[in-house]
Amino acid sequence: MARGASSASSGLITWLGLALIILIADQFTKTLILGYYRLGDTTYVTSFFNIVRAHNTGAAFSFLAGASGWQRWFFTIIGLAAAVFIIWMLRTHSGQKLFSFAMACILGGAVGNVVDRLLHGYVVDFLDFHWANWHFPAFNLADSAITLGAVCLILDELLRVRRGK
C-alpha cells in the first residue's frame, strides 16, 4: 500500500473511532434513561435544566411526529444514507481535521438516532433546558453531536472562504 493511502486509511480510522465513541456514549446514556425513567418522568437538576424521558417519533423538534408511522422508516433510511455519504466524505477528506471532526460528530449522532429508531421506533430524548414556562424541545447526546458537527462545518467553510481571499 502506498504511503499516502496508508495515512488516509489511518485518518479514516481515527474519525470512525470518534464517531464510535459518540455512538457508544449516546447509547449508554439512553440505556440509563430507559432503565431508570418511565415516559414523562422528570428529575429537577437546576433552575434551567431537567433530565426527562421523552420519545420522539419524528425528526428535529418533533417534525412529523404525528404521522402514521411511515416516518420511522423514512428517517431511518435518511440516516443510513447520510452515514454512507459521510463515510465516503471522511475517506476522501480525512486529512482536513475540522471538516472530518464535524463529519465524525454528525456520523456518530446520526447512527445513534438510527439505532433508536430501529430498536424502539422512536428516539429517546432526555436533556430538557427551560426558562420560566418555556421549554426547549428535549434532546440527547446524538442531537448534541449533530449540532456540534453542523457548527464546525459552518466554521470550516468560513475559514476556507477566508483563506481563499
- Going from the first residue of the chain to its last (165 residues), give the mean pLDDT of each consecutive group of 10, the final group possibly shorter: 59 95 98 97 96 86 59 83 96 93 98 94 95 91 97 96 83
pLDDT of residue 143: 96
pLDDT of residue 135: 86
**Considering the domain boundaries, does residue 120 fall inside one?**
yes
The structural domain count of the chain equals 1
Long-range pairs, 75-83, Cβ under 8 A, ≥24: 75/113, 75/117, 76/114, 76/117, 76/118, 79/110, 79/111, 79/113, 79/114, 79/117, 80/114, 82/106, 82/107, 82/110, 83/107, 83/110, 83/111, 83/114
For residue 9, what is its C-alpha cell?
486509511
The distance from CA 105 to its chain's CA centroid, rounded to whole angstroms, is 7
**Considering the domain boundaries, does residue 122 fall inside one?**
yes
**Considering the domain boundaries, does residue 3 fall inside one?**
no
Residues known to be catalytic: 125, 143
pLDDT of residue 75: 79
**Considering the domain boundaries, does residue 17 fall inside one?**
yes
**Considering the domain boundaries, does residue 2 fall inside one?**
no
pLDDT of residue 21: 98
Residue 60 sits in which domain range? 10-164
pLDDT of residue 69: 63
